[in-house]
Amino acid sequence: MAKIFVDGRQYEVVAEDNLLHACLSQGLDIPYFCWHPALGSVGACRQCAVKQYRDANDEAGHLVMSCMTPATDGTRISIADEEAKQFRAGVIEWLMTNHPHDCPVCEEGGHCHLQDMTVMTGHASRRYRFTKRTHKNQYLGPFINHEMNRCIACYRCVRYYKDYAGGSDLDVYGAAHNVYFGRTADGVLENEFSGNLVEVCPTGVFTDKTHGEHYNRKWDMQYSPSICQGCSVGCNISPGERYGEIRRIENRYNGSVNHYFLCDRGRFGYGYVNRKDRPRQPLVRRDGSLVTVPAGEALARTTQLLKAARGIIGIGSPRASLESNFALRALVGPEHFHDGHANGEAALARRVLDILQTSPLPAATLRGIEGADVVLVLGEDVTNTAPRVALAVRQSAQGRTARMAAEKQLPDWLTEARTNVGQHEKHPVFIASVAVTRLDDVATHTMRAAPDDIARLGFAVAHALDATAPSVDGLDPAAMQLAERIAAALSAAKKPLIVSGTGAGSAAVLQAAANVGLALHACGQKAEHCFIVPEVNSLGLALLNVGQECCDLEAAFSAVERGAADTLVVLENDLYRRAERARVDALLAHVKLIVLDHQSHATAAKAEVVLPAGSFAESEGTVVSHEGRAQRYFKVFAPRYNDPHSVIRQSWEWLDDLRERTQLSAWRYFDRLTTAIAQALPALRKIVHAAPDAQFRASGLKVAREPHRYSGRTAMRANLSVQEPRQPQDPDTALAFSMEGHNGTQAGTRPSALIPYAWAPGWNSPQSWNKFQDEVGGHLQGGDPGTRLIEPAEDEVTARYHDAIPVPFVASAGVWQALPLAHIFGSEELSARAAPIAVLMPAAYVALHPADADLLEAGENSTLEVSLPGEKLLLPLRRRSDLPRGTVGLAVGVPGSPWFAAGAPVKLGKGSST
């Protein structure tokens, strides 16, 4: 710590910080542009000038840039100094010489950092009377709009996109007052994290195109603290709604998880909430077709089905909340509850849970990943299965330059010094994967192999670290050498990290990764691990089923086949994405099917009853991230307010009603249900701490979902009725569907899990998260949202080395091993239903090593006949030399791609060539 003096007042600050960071952390306001907590200081914009004094006797002082000046003990500065104030206003005036006067029609208006800083400096009228320079804009793809005339050349976009996110297709061109930030030519931005440009840009150069298509000012939207449903990372998001539509998703700061950044799937994949083809009223099958009925009738019909059933099976969903899954489990009985993963995936998710629960290693937070200094990625293509993790791994690689700069006594925040000293040096990252990954560019070494061989490498690394770990027989010398190299790097590391997951569909890969962790622990290394699981609540489902027999879909299928059940309740799940088409067809032909979902899909089309469920935007719920962090999301809006015909209810509410009708017992309130879970299942007992309950009040108030400047409330429903109804009530949470309530202007603070949107007085842009953090860029005040359910056992280690080491993969003639190839855009069910995501989604394909393709005489542009168990189809061929011989890559989950089990035998035949 250091004592500094700001305008005569003394402050205790972190000595390692720069003055800007230190002052902002003290709640003081200094305007800035080029500095960003995640991007460091570069001294370009000159906006954060303050006056520094040599000592108490120095009265003249001199201007310094606070972002470039260390907060050393005894520093004396003035923010209020007249010359400094004039200079700061002058900087804005310079920026305004070219900035257009288009705030009223600019999409950034109202959440614009440039507006905020302009007001903060007091600059109000321009003296510049000459013409402005103008630029041409570019098409950057379906996500981001480009309006270069607004550019103030803070260089944040390229520093984020190139230096932070590793993108290569956005750069700065030109010089002088004609610098241009864009691509060499129009085209879709390639980086998977491009959406963060929208928030990184302090003004309206890069704006959210999906938002622009149904635009609202920030203050005119309703928000909730929510959790991204796109993968198992559980990034915190702040969705904005108006007229019953989600209009945009912004990052919600969580200092342990996503902090300032989201992936493009998470940010732009919300369109499924707004789809016109969603079930919004209950449907009941009559004379062979589904017809709309009132809720009471649908419930009565469902109750009738349940009461008449000769055995009921409930199939839950890893994309539904713990509460909804538990409600279904209670309705059908734990022994009849199936977790809704595909067969293999349920077992893999369980295995991950087992590793997390028994390993002495803690599961890494995203922050933890960023701080690792050696990373082994075993079998997981994180960019496509848990994208935000990839961005974190990239930071760990780039952490090397910070360490090199530190060796030269240069501070961490002096970003440029890091690159000047460290150049292109990286911390070691070893990636073993089935195919190329988008992280390969930061990898020290990549190995591409079939999952079994990846597992063998992992086992060999563990053995190289600890001789008591089982050894791998017959490992080829190159793999052995690599294993030793990886082991050497891991054991030399200060913070080694193992990243793996269910993406390769291989239990052996998971076990190998677990062994590496155990071996590192045995060596006394303080390692962490990170296991990616398939979906947003996969780990939650595994926790829900702790102590139960493995109840995957196969068990459900056989129960029906045995005649043990004839009625199926499916919660937020499309079974055709979980098993072979023929099997699902056969299953559904023999059961009475009740579906609760917020999407129309092939399974729902076969139902007797479809109950329209709330999506994440119309529900509250708890989900457990890959890290074991239970996080709560809240309704963004009440669907009936704007659409009186809507009968959308949360799944748990439907199920609670059904439970009351069949078992004469109900929870009625969300908190009661959550508490029931915590009481029933010890592994989940801490979920009640994920967020404050419905009784919580901030300074006596509920938390307002709407900003206090929310406008048009009395008019927005005038097309329905001129009488303004009472605002929807929310008895289940501490949030209100209203602008009344705690919104940040009153005394007291909202707990971190209940902050719906980023706003603080004077700070309208996402930069206002400054005002919610214990230290800028650190954790949220009062701790980051969520509660970790799994911590490593502190006493004796119960985990033992796995020794089921697979034999080497051998290509067999005529049969290929199916490899699941995930795609950030397309593989995830819900986001794939959003129009802008669909634009970037690949069409279904089959990928083969060129040598294997040659065996089939299949050249470029040919089509192959793909025979999977129970399915045969024609798919276009992609010749990919990165795939191991003897394997066939199939896109996971994209439209037209069949469901298949990872590792399934695939036969290929000549289709056609064009």
Partner 1 sequence: MTADTKPLTHRVDLATPLDIRGYESQEGYAAVRKALKKMQPSEVTHLVKEANLRGRGGAGFPTGVKWSLVPMGESAPRQKYVICNADEMEPGTFKDRLLMEGAPHQLVEAMIVSGYAIQASRGYVFLRGEYVLAAERLERAIAEARAAGYLGANVLGSPWSFDLFVHSGAGRYLPGEETALINSLEGRRARPRAKPPFPQIAGLWGKPTVVNNVETLCNVPHIVLRGSEWFRGLSQGKSKDSGTKLYGVSGRVRRPGLWELPFGVTAREILEDHAGGMTEGLKLKCWLPGGASTDFLLPAHLDLAMDFDTIAKAGSRMGTGLLTVVDDSRSIISVVRNLEEFFARESCGWCTPCRDGLPWSVRLLAALERGQGQPGDIELLEQLCRFLGPGRTFCAHAPGAVEPLQSAIKYFRHEFEAGVPKPATRAVAQRTTAAQAVA
Positions in the binding site for partner 1 (CB under 8 A): 42-47, 49, 62-64, 68, 87, 90-91, 94-95, 97-98, 127-130, 152-153, 155, 172, 174-179, 404-405, 408, 410, 414, 416-417, 420-423
Nearer to partner 1, 293 or 442 (CB): 442
Helix 343-358 and helix 507-522, axial crossing angle in degrees, nearest 10: 10
Cα-Cα-Cα-Cα dihedral sign, residues 217, 222, 223, 229: negative
**Residue 54 or residue 214: which is nearer to partner 1 going by CB?**
54
Report residue 419 as tokens: 């690159």
Q: Identify the residue whose tokens are 């309208």.
A: 764
Nearest CA among 641, 781, 765 for reference residue 698: 781
CB 49 within 8 A of CB 79: no
Give 86 or 862: the residue with its C-beta nearer to partner 1.
86
- Exposure string of 882-893, with b = 16+ CB inside 10 Å and e = fewer, is ebbbbbbbbbbb
Tokens for 141, please give them: 């793809």
> Which CB atom, from 175 or from 747, has the smaller least distance to partner 1?
175
Taking the complex as a whole, the smallest distance from the CB of residue 223 to partner 1 amounts, in Å, to 33
- In the bound state with partner 1, the residue whose beta carbon lies nearer, of 174 and 644, is 174
DSSP state of 592: E
Q: Going along 346-478, which residue ranges are E strands?
A: 374-378, 429-433, 445-448
The amino acid present at 422, given as its one-letter code, is G
Residue closer to partner 1 by CB (options 45, 305) is 45
Calculate the alpha carbon distances from 681 to 6, 102, 547, 625, 688 in Å.
53, 56, 10, 18, 12
Q: At closest approach, how far in Å is the CB of 415 from partner 1?
A: 9
| Mode of pairing for the β-strands spanning 567-571 and 592-597 | parallel
Between 34 and 432, whose beta carbon lies closer to partner 1?
34
CB of 98 to partner 1, least distance (A): 7
Report, in Å, the least distance between residue 773 CB and partner 1: 26
Min separation Cβ 204 and partner 1, Å: 18
CB of 442 to partner 1, least distance (A): 18
419 burial (CB, 10 Å; 0-12 / 13-18 / 19+) is middle
**Closer to partner 1 by Cβ: residue 177 or 526:** 177
Distance between CA atoms of residues 611 and 303, nearest Å? 12
DSSP for 11-36 reads EEE-TTSBHHHHHHHTT-----SS-B
Nearer to partner 1 among residue 158 and residue 429 (C-beta): 158
Name which of 176 and 467 has its Cβ closer to partner 1.
176
- Torsion sign over Cα 703, 708, 710, 711: positive
Q: How far is the CB of 889 from partner 1 (least distance, A)?
A: 36
Which of 154/609 has CB closer to partner 1?
154
Over its C-alpha atoms, the chain yields an Rg (Å, rounded) of 28
Least spacing, CB of residue 746 vs partner 1, in Å: 37
Q: Smallest distance from the beta carbon of 203 to partner 1, in angstroms?
A: 13
CB within 8 Å of 261: residues ≥ 6 apart:
38, 165, 193, 196, 251, 388, 391
- In terms of CB distance, is 175 or 722 closer to partner 1? 175
Distance of closest approach, residue 133 Cβ to partner 1, in angstroms: 8
Least Cβ distance, residue 508 to partner 1 (angstroms): 42
Burial of 470 (0-12, 13-18, 19+ CB in 10 A): middle
The DSSP secondary structure of 480-501, one letter per residue, reads HHHHHHHHHHHHH-SSEEEEEE
Report d(CA 136, CA 364) in Å as an integer: 44
Q: Which two tokens stand for residue 480?
A: 């052995």
Judged by CB, which is closer to partner 1: 68, or 648? 68
Provide, rounded to whole angstroms, the least separation between the CB of residue 135 and partner 1. Answer: 13
Identify whether the C-beta of residue 156 lies closer than 8 Å to the C-beta of residue 202. Answer: yes
CB of 419 to partner 1, least distance (A): 9
Task: Report which of 684, 317, 618, 785 is spatially closest to residue 676, judged by C-alpha positions.
Answer: 684
Tokens at residue 802, please?
Answer: 């796995």
